[in-house]
Structure 1
Amino acid sequence: MSGTAPSSADGTTPRTIPELVRTAAERYGPREAVADGRTRISYAGLGERVERAAAAALASGLRPGDRVAVWAPNTADWIVAALGAVTAGGVLVPLNTRFKGAEAGYVLARTRARLLFVTGTFLGTSYVAALRRAAGQGPGAGPLPGLPHLREVVVLADDAPEDFRTWADFLAGGAAVPPEAVRARAARIAPEAPSDITFTSGTTGHPKGVVLTHEQTLRVYACWSELAGLAAGDRYLIVNPFFHSFGYKAGIIACLLRGATMVPQSVFDAEAALARVAAERISVLPGPPTLHQALLDHPARRRYDLSALRLVVTGAAVVPLELVERLRTELKVGTVLTAYGLTEASGTVTMCRRGDPAEVVSGTSGRAIPGTEVKVVAGSGAEQPPGAPGEVLVRGYHVMSGYFEEPGETARVRTPDGWLRTGDVGVLDADGNLRITDRITDMFVVGGFNAYPAEIEQLLLRHPGIAEAAVVGVPDRRLGEVAKVFAVRRPGATVTADDLIAWSRREMANYKVPREVAFVAELPRNAAGKVVKARLRARR
């Protein structure tokens, strides 16, 4: 199967996201764009809804370049709100749905977001209440005084508290804005303008905003879609969260480029996903290896018709050869691919190609995508020959312009000649296939989510009974890796492992929560005073 990206009226490929939405609506008009439960939206209908949301954003006073945050699970409303904000000239700031109020508040304050779309309640948590606890007091005059730049909060629901607006009320506010005004605003957006700021953490522990442009996003995911073989008529179950570049860009943007149907799933549940694949005739299902393993191992799998499934793209962790072979033999998936990327490089750096043998798919993350250079260097900076490990460096059109308003942090990871230091250790083979072997940054992956020890450690040190904390990733059969903390109690403190885990569940996103706690008298340190994590890992 093949497909081509939609073209503008002059026959060129769209260079901005608003142009992509418009041309997709024109080209794929009656084709189903979104299937979200009972909500069914055609491509033409999606274009209309996005234009209406953009009109409402203009009516609310949104200016070009203003940051607009979305804190909600995968739904049709997320798609419309995000694309509407970007069409109005806003810069999208997706917020992790696992965040607690303080974590979301940090990103909102850091970006000086002007407009926030938020879900009401998700997984039993009131996001509105969490925000009020975190930012209800402060000098601002808006709906959350602790966030003085935030002018409006729109709840993606039928009800909203005082000072917030409902989704319907927000949309109604744009009724007086003519379509011509929306299209004029969209037409003024330059391809090189920022389209989104996606936050990722690092060894310094504080989240940093990766700035990427419209043109970078469209070019990378046109390439991704072509290499994967995504086609018009495909039905794509998007389990990867929209707040992550893989969910938003390899999901929403890729579908818009190729005319595929987006089927968002807000929470991964293996049996629910199996039922969705069968009922919606899902043909495309990207996700981390743990997702596909859960589907294969589910005792009810054989009760569901999964015969439409033809394309799986995975990565983010070690991919067992057995998993690739089982997907191909048991589920008859015609194309199984692996890929490697990081937010700072628009989410995609290398990718396997259709037809690659199972050993290449499972043992590597494929080869550099077109327009990208990948090399492996020793500690001295010298380029390593094939087969020799070193730090993976990337250069190309898709590398971020920088971290949002953090030139110092940007300079640490971008060389003067444009190479991005990934912090990952890898090996290139003679054919250019990349195998990731370790992480310089100590980051580990929990069920597909990147977990950063320094960030978790800073959160743990807020506990009144903890004096010091060091976090490492340890193997976990279900999630791949989980956090283990080595902690030093404050004098007189009696906090137990169960106490600390329970506290962590209240104070941090669930993928960051330590599953194991070891109390120690002191942490091992080197002569410079840094914790020697290799010794901690050896104690596992």
Structure 2
Amino acid sequence: MRAASYVNGVSLQPLLGDTVGSLLDRIAAAHPERPALVVRSQGVRLSYSEFHAQVEQVAAGLLALGLQRGDRVGIWSPNRAEWVVLQFAAPKAGLILVNINPAYRLHELEYALNKVSCRALVLPRRFKASHYLDLLMELAPELNVCAPGALASSRLPALREVILLDEDAAPGTRAWRELAECGNAEAVARLHALEQALGFDDPVNIQFTSGTTGSPKGATLTHHNIVNNGYFIGEAMRLTEQDRLCIPVPFYHCFGMVLGNLACVTHGACMVIPGEGFDAVSTLEAVQEERCTGLHGVPTMFIAELEHPRFKEFDLSSLRTGIMAGSPCPIEVMRRVVGEMHMSEVTIAYGMTETSPVSFQTTLDDPLERRVDSVGRIHPHLEVKLVDEGGRLIPRGTPGELCTRGYSVMLGYWEDEARTREAVDEAGWMHTGDLAVIDDDGYCTIVGRLKDMIIRGGENVYPREIEEFLYTHPKVQDVQVFGVPDARFGEQVCAWVRLREGCQATEAEIQDYCRHHLAYFKVPHYVRFVDSFPMTITGKVQKYLMRDAMAESLANPR
């Protein structure tokens, strides 16, 4: 009889008892002159002592504005030096950092800020085609006439402070430099006194993860969750203070924030940020010129780098490690990353936001095939079991739902006890909704999803959220959203739409409607107008038949 599909991460390395603030205090004291942060697009270069000083000044400045322990501070920005500083400053001041996807549009921003009652919001004036301040002004036109710190918006009732990542403030906002200037000696003294009262089980971060039942959920993580996950991720990569990790993945997601920034800081390594958003050439330049030893990315990023016409111009010989995650990696891509990018020690990781995020990771000693056909073995101090539809433990080699328990499991979804209870059972198991197989050697392979989540280029897209939004279109009678295979992104979003009687619409019209309100990766790449959906006898929609039909039509266009 085969062993049960249960694994636990036995480890001689104890869990860390740090808060985010005490971790930085300890690392900065141990490596004061080592490089901590390089942000090439901004010309920022900080040692650990300089980075620590900036974090303390901003943390004290936040308290000087009147923010109280437990208040939520949102950041709606692409990758910038200030993002990293705030990632450490907010928890040092006992505040909860709220990650807001920089691709969010009006509808999503309003929901996120109000769901967690954000008291302060940090944002740049604009980035590329996204005019963040203009969008915020649509929600809070009162900014034009109010004094900084006095915002009282009917649509954003909790928001009081708007901090602009620009040299100069706009009406109703403060500039980032003003925030730092507020962190005087008196405020720093208050900060140090407050830190004594903080515990590592305090909430420190809220990340939104879209729900299959519609509106996004705010996964609430603690110091203990993310500090330890970052530490053991770095351990799997064998990071030291000599390493320099290139991080082109976004900070608003756990990939950038935990697998990147915290993996570095827990080991005294240097965070190297190529730019505000991903660009293949900027990333390759950063690796070459900063002599990076590690590089993170989703498979589509590595493919873009390898396929770039200038790829062979760059000296990437300093690379040895990094993480590829977000979606399955084709073995040929992995071979090229190892061979042509010199990343012989690249690892694969699996997890979810609700588990801080990593539960499984390959190691440097795993053969190449295992780093492609699996997501590795269990992380230290965690448990995983696979269960059948009745919640019973199943034998190894059998697909079942992956459940995780341990230090990494979130506190819950912010002010949503019902959905928290659905996700985390009474025994503390987080039910991921992913279907997996664990083999006799303990390697885990993800084989599918109980939920209909779409993974498009590393971004999680939940059909129900898009469906509920499209129901607001005056011409839409009914809609079903699902993923279809895509060579570049893994999956693309497809919507089958039933129009109201007598109405006509085009694919572009539906896409434009979504584009104004939803993040770009949620906008349906394909829209098809149908008279009906395939259904079971009991009236349940059969999305797998739609997916098969769509894949067939794309493979064999008429």
Give the partner amino acid of 1:483.
V
Aligned to 2:445: 435
Say if 1:19 and 1:485 are closer, same or farther in 2 by CA, change over 3 A.
Answer: same
SS in 2 for 1:380: coil
Aligned to 1:84: 89
1:67-123 Cα shifts (integer Å, max 9, x gaps): 111111111111112322221110111100110122112111010111111111012
Aligned partners of 1:374 and 1:394 also within 8 Å: yes
SS in 2 for 1:177: helix
Say if 1:474 and 1:63 are closer, same or farther in 2 by CA, change over 3 A.
Answer: same
CA–CA distance in structure 1, aligned partners of residues 187 and 420 of structure 2: 41
Higher relative contact order (CA 8 A, sep 6+): 2
- Mapped pair 1:211 → 2:220: yes
Aligned to 1:3: none
CA–CA distance in structure 2, aligned partners of residues 463 and 260 of structure 1: 49
Aligned to 2:49: 44
SS in 2 for 1:129: helix
CA–CA distance in structure 2, aligned partners of residues 527 and 155 of structure 1: 56
CA–CA distance in structure 2, aligned partners of residues 529 and 272 of structure 1: 51
- Per the TM alignment, residue 228 of structure 1 is displaced from its structure 2 partner at its CA by 1.4
- Per the TM alignment, residue 207 of structure 1 is displaced from its structure 2 partner at its CA by 0.5
CA–CA distance in structure 2, aligned partners of residues 452 and 384 of structure 1: 28
State which of 301, 318, 335 in structure 1 corresponds to 2:311.
301
Aligned partners of 1:316 and 1:448 also within 8 Å: yes
Aligned partners of 1:54 and 1:182 also within 8 Å: yes
Moved more, 459-468 or 524-533: 524-533
Aligned to 1:506: 516
Give the paired residue count: 529
Aligned partners of 1:137 and 1:145 also within 8 Å: no
Aligned to 1:8: none
- Per the TM alignment, residue 315 of structure 1 is displaced from its structure 2 partner at its CA by 2.1
Aligned to 2:67: 62
- Mapped pair 1:74 → 2:79: yes
SS in 1 for 2:404: strand
Q: What pairs with 1:391-470 in structure 2 (closer than 5 Å)?
A: 391-470=401-480
CA–CA distance in structure 1, aligned partners of residues 538 and 223 of structure 2: 43
Aligned partners of 2:57 and 2:183 also within 8 Å: yes
SS in 1 for 2:121: strand
Say if 1:53 and 1:44 are closer, same or farther in 2 by CA, change over 3 A.
Answer: same
SS in 2 for 1:438: strand
Aligned partners of 2:206 and 2:218 also within 8 Å: yes
RMSD of aligned Cα (Å): 1.8
Say if 1:149 and 1:176 are closer, same or farther in 2 by CA, change over 3 A.
Answer: farther
- Mapped pair 1:525 → 2:535: yes
CA–CA distance in structure 2, aligned partners of residues 471 and 47 of structure 1: 46
- Per the TM alignment, residue 291 of structure 1 is displaced from its structure 2 partner at its CA by 1.1
- Mapped pair 1:196 → 2:205: yes
Q: What pairs with 1:140-179 in structure 2 (closer than 5 Å)?
A: 142=151, 144-175=153-184, 177-179=186-188
Moved more, 333-342 or 498-507: 498-507
Aligned to 1:17: 20
- Mapped pair 1:389 → 2:392: no
Aligned partners of 1:143 and 1:164 also within 8 Å: no
Aligned partners of 2:64 and 2:187 also within 8 Å: no
- Mapped pair 1:125 → 2:130: yes
Say if 1:12 and 1:192 are closer, same or farther in 2 by CA, change over 3 A.
Answer: closer
- Mapped pair 1:374 → 2:389: no
Aligned partners of 1:59 and 1:177 also within 8 Å: no
State which of 355, 369, 372 in structure 2 corresponds to 1:362.
372
- Mapped pair 1:96 → 2:101: yes
- Mapped pair 1:288 → 2:298: yes
Say if 1:63 and 1:462 are closer, same or farther in 2 by CA, change over 3 A.
Answer: same
Give the partner amino acid of 1:521.
D
- Per the TM alignment, residue 133 of structure 1 is displaced from its structure 2 partner at its CA by 1.4
- Mapped pair 1:321 → 2:331: yes
SS in 1 for 2:137: helix
Aligned partners of 1:102 and 1:131 also within 8 Å: no
Aligned to 1:108: 113
- Per the TM alignment, residue 384 of structure 1 is displaced from its structure 2 partner at its CA by 1.6
1:25-51 Cα shifts (integer Å, max 9, x gaps): 211111111111211111101111011
Aligned partners of 2:166 and 2:175 also within 8 Å: yes
Aligned to 2:546: 536
CA–CA distance in structure 2, aligned partners of residues 148 and 311 of structure 1: 46
Aligned partners of 2:327 and 2:490 also within 8 Å: yes
- Per the TM alignment, residue 135 of structure 1 is displaced from its structure 2 partner at its CA by 4.1
Give the partner amino acid of 1:288.
V
- Per the TM alignment, residue 224 of structure 1 is displaced from its structure 2 partner at its CA by 1.1
**Unpaired segments ≥5 residues, structure 1:** 1-10
State which of 235, 260, 265 in structure 2 corresponds to 1:226.
235
Aligned to 1:7: none
CA–CA distance in structure 2, aligned partners of residues 464 and 256 of structure 1: 50
TM-score by length of 1: 0.94
1:393-434 Cα shifts (integer Å, max 9, x gaps): 111121112111111101111121111110001111111111
State which of 26, 35, 59 in structure 2 corresponds to 1:32.
35
- Per the TM alignment, residue 263 of structure 1 is displaced from its structure 2 partner at its CA by 1.4
Give the partner amino acid of 1:19.
S
Give the partner amino acid of 2:262.
I
Give the partner amino acid of 1:75.
R
Aligned partners of 2:15 and 2:228 also within 8 Å: no
- Per the TM alignment, residue 256 of structure 1 is displaced from its structure 2 partner at its CA by 1.0
- Per the TM alignment, residue 332 of structure 1 is displaced from its structure 2 partner at its CA by 2.1
CA–CA distance in structure 1, aligned partners of residues 485 and 117 of structure 2: 38
Moved more, 517-526 or 428-437: 517-526
- Per the TM alignment, residue 14 of structure 1 is displaced from its structure 2 partner at its CA by 5.4
State which of 222, 246, 250 in structure 1 corresponds to 2:255.
246
> Once the two structures are aligned, what percentage of the paired residues are identical?
37
CA–CA distance in structure 2, aligned partners of residues 134 and 528 of structure 1: 43
**Unpaired segments ≥5 residues, structure 2:** 1-13, 551-558
- Per the TM alignment, residue 176 of structure 1 is displaced from its structure 2 partner at its CA by 5.7
- Mapped pair 1:493 → 2:498: no
- Per the TM alignment, residue 528 of structure 1 is displaced from its structure 2 partner at its CA by 4.9
Aligned to 2:244: 235
CA–CA distance in structure 2, aligned partners of residues 21 and 525 of structure 1: 55
Moved more, 69-78 or 489-498: 489-498
Aligned partners of 2:107 and 2:518 also within 8 Å: no
CA–CA distance in structure 2, aligned partners of residues 505 and 178 of structure 1: 43
Say if 1:26 and 1:337 are closer, same or farther in 2 by CA, change over 3 A.
Answer: same
